C-alpha cells in the first residue's frame, strides 16, 4: 500500500468535496436513537436537519491497518437530548478507539455489555481513549458550536450498530440549564 | 480498562507537567542520526539543544489497544539537515500508523525494507497514513515553528530503532534556499 495524505481542515474537520464526500445522518435517519420519538418525528417532518457527518477513508480491513477520519456533530436538541452519533460497539469487541477533539465541547458516552458506564467531557486538544469492549457515541453539549473529533481504530474492528439500535444506551445526555446532565434512559432495553 | 482523558494542548501538543512528562531527545542523543557528524558534535558541545520531545502514554501492549500521543519537533538544522525524529520500523512490521498535523510544516519520510521511499508534506489539519512495513520519521521543514503531530498506532506494534540507527534512511531532507530538498543519503548503509 502507498502512503496517503488526507487534507482535513483543522477547525471544521472537512475534506474538500472534490476529494471525498462525507457520510451524512439527518434526523430522519435516527429514528429510535433519540428517546423522544414525538420530538424526532416533528423535526423530521419540519426540516430534517443534518445531525452529524463523518468520513470513512475506506481503508483495507486488515489487522495491520487503521481506520481514521473526522466526525462532525452539529449543535441541537431532540426533546431534551443533545445531538449525537448513533454509537456502536466494534464487531471485534475488544478493540479500542482514540478520539482527538479539534473543536467544540462534547461528551464521549461509553458502556460495556455488562452495563459499566463511563463518560468523558472533551474540549479542543483533549484525547479520549475508548477502551475495548465499550460501545461509544459522541454527544455535542454546546448550544452553538460543532463538535469536531479525529478518530482512529483498527481497520478490521468493524461496527456493530444493531445492539445499540435495539437497546439504546443506558444513559442519556440531556440539557440541564446552561449545562448538561447524564440521566437514566427510561426506554433502555425496549426494542425500539 | 477504564477510559482516559488526556489533556493535550491543541496548539503546542503539550500535557501539563503535573500530569505527565514528555520524553526528550537532545542533539547529544542523536549521534549517528544526522549525516553531518562534525556539525552535530559542535552543537552537542555548544548548547546541546532539544531537538524533539514526545509523549508515551504507556498503554498496555495488546493487539486490541492503541498507543497514542503527540510529537513535537523543534525548528533547526544540523549541517544542512532539518531537525527530525530518529525514525523507526514497527517490530510487528506490517502495522500502520496515523499522524495528524496540529501545527507547523513538516515532511513524513518513509521507506520500506526493500528500499521503496515515500514522503508526504504535512500542514495543520492534514493526516498522513504511514502504511505497514514503512519506517517513518517526522522532519520539521519550517525555520521558526514547531512541528506538532498527534499519532496513533497499534499498542503491540513495538519500535525497532536499531535498523535505522545502523543504516540510516536512504534519503535526507535538507535546506534548499527557502524550501527543502530530498536528496540521497551519502552515508546510507554505513554502520555509523
Mean pLDDT of all residues in B98-118? 97
A98 → closest Cβ in B9, B66, B121:
B66
B5/A128 Cβ within 8 A: yes
Helix (H) / strand (E) containing A66 = strand A66-73
Nearest CA in chain A to B155: A96
Instruction: Answer yes or no: is pLDDT of A49 > 80.
Output: yes
- Using the structure block, give the residue that is written with the C-alpha cell 556539525: B39
Provide the pLDDT confidence category of residue A192 given band limits of 50, 70 and 90: low
Provide the pLDDT confidence category of residue B190 given band limits of 50, 70 and 90: confident
Interface test with A, best of B1, B11, B15, B66 (most A CBs within 10 A): B66
A153/B128 Cβ within 8 A: no
Q: Find the range with the poorest average confidence among A117-121, B21-25, B69-73, B165-169.
A: B165-169
B10 → closest Cβ in A5, A59, A125:
A125
What is the Cα–Cα distance from A143 to A58, expressed in whole angstroms? 32
Structure confidence at residue B4 (pLDDT): 97
B154/A124 Cβ within 8 A: no
What is the Cα–Cα distance from A157 to B149, expressed in whole angstroms? 24
B65 → closest Cβ in A64, A96, A102:
A96
B68/A132 Cβ within 8 A: no
Count of helix runs (H) and strand runs (E) in chain A = 2, 14
Mean pLDDT of all residues in B34-47? 97
* Averaged confidence pLDDT in chain B: 96
Domains of chain B with bracketed CATH: 23-184 (2.60.120.10)
A125/B9 Cβ within 8 A: yes
List, in order, residues 6 or more apart from B50 with CB less than 8 Å away. B24, B25, B26, B74
Mean pLDDT of all residues in A79-104? 97
B65/A3 Cβ within 8 A: no
pTM: 0.96
Instruction: Answer yes or no: is pLDDT of A27 > 60.
Output: yes
Instruction: Answer yes or no: is pLDDT of B78 > 90.
Output: yes
Structure confidence at residue B132 (pLDDT): 97
What is the Cα–Cα distance from A190 to B178, expressed in whole angstroms? 64
Residue A56: its chain B contacts at CB < 8 A? none
Amino acid at each position: 500500500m502507498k502512503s496517503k495524505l488526507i487534507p482535513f481542515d483543522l477547525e471544521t474537520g472537512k475534506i474538500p468535496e472534490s476529494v471525498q464526500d462525507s457520510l451524512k445522518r439527518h434526523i430522519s435517519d435516527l429514528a429510535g436513537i433519540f428517546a423522544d420519538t414525538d420530538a424526532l418525528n416533528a423535526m423530521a417532518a419540519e426540516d430534517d436537519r443534518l445531525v452529524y457527518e463523518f468520513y470513512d477513508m475506506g481503508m483495507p480491513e486488515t489487522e495491520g491497518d487503521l481506520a481514521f477520519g473526522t466526525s462532525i456533530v452539529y449543535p441541537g436538541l431532540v426533546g431534551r437530548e443533545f445531538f449525537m452519533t448513533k454509537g456502536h460497539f466494534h464487531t471485534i469487541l475488544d478493540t479500542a478507539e482514540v478520539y482527538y477533539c479539534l473543536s467544540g465541547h462534547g461528551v464521549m458516552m461509553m458502556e460495556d455489555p455488562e452495563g459499566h458506564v463511563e463518560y468523558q467531557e472533551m474540549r479542543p486538544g483533549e484525547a479520549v481513549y475508548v477502551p475495548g469492549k465499550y460501545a461509544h457515541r459522541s454527544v455535542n453539549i454546546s448550544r452553538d458550536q460543532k463538535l469536531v473529533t479525529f478518530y482512529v481504530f483498527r481497520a478490521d474492528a468493524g461496527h456493530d450498530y444493531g445492539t445499540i439500535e435495539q437497546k439504546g444506551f443506558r444513559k442519556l445526555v440531556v440539557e440541564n440549564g446552561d449545562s448538561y446532565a447524564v440521566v437514566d434512559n427510561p426506554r433502555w432495553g425496549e426494542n425500539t
